[in-house]
Amino acid sequence: VLCGVLLGLRLHPRGSLSLVERLWATVRPRLTTTTSLSAALLTEAAQGYAVAPVVRLAEALAGAAGGPTTEGRPSTAVMEAVQAVLAIGHSSGADLLGGLAGCLDALDTIDLLDHSPRLATTRRSLP
């Protein structure tokens, strides 16, 4: 999930290296509490690297491989890339996809928050 979030922060136009660095500063000290494989994958994601199926998904979402949507539905390229990511590991692909989708969705809602006076006030009041 965290790999997906780290990659999503790099992929989405509202994401930023600053947000990646803030999340990574929290994750990095905890790398010793997970497996060496997970630690390596997290480190790679923080640096913007991903396995080939995830890269293909990012390209499809960005429109480089046939566009992200066709008539309001995900394009064939996106659907094929999603299936390839879901095939990673037993549940790792689904977890990564959940983190990526959640991050992209959250970043999409930022514009909604900026235009809603009630939500913007609530948001500013949060620590």
Output the DSSP codes for the chain: -HHHHHHHHHHSTT--HHHHHHHHHHHGGGGGGS-HHHHHHHHHHHTT---HHHHHHHHHHHTTTS-SEETTEE-HHHHHHHHHHHTSTTTHHHHHHHHHHHHHHHHHHHHHHHT-HHHHHHHHH--
| Higher-pLDDT residue of 67, 27 | 27
pTM of the model: 0.79
Query: Per residue in 34-78, pLDDT tens?
Result: 999 999 999 999 999 999 999 999 999 887 555 566 666 788 889
